[in-house]
Amino acid sequence: SKLKEHMQYCMDHPDEISKLAKVKAQVSEVKGVMMENIEKVLDRGEKIELLVDKTENLRSQ
Please state the separation of Cα 52 from the chain's center in Å. 26
CA 20-22-23 angle, 5° bins: 65
More confident of the two residues 50 and 1: 50
The pTM for the full model equals 0.56
Picking from 1, 61, 58, the residue whose alpha carbon sits closest to that of residue 28 is: 1
Q: Work out the number of other CB atoms within 10 angstroms of the CB of residue 11.
A: 12
Q: Residues 28-61: pLDDT tens digits?
A: 999 999 999 999 999 999 999 999 999 999 999 8
C-alpha–C-alpha distance, residues 12 and 8, integer Å: 6
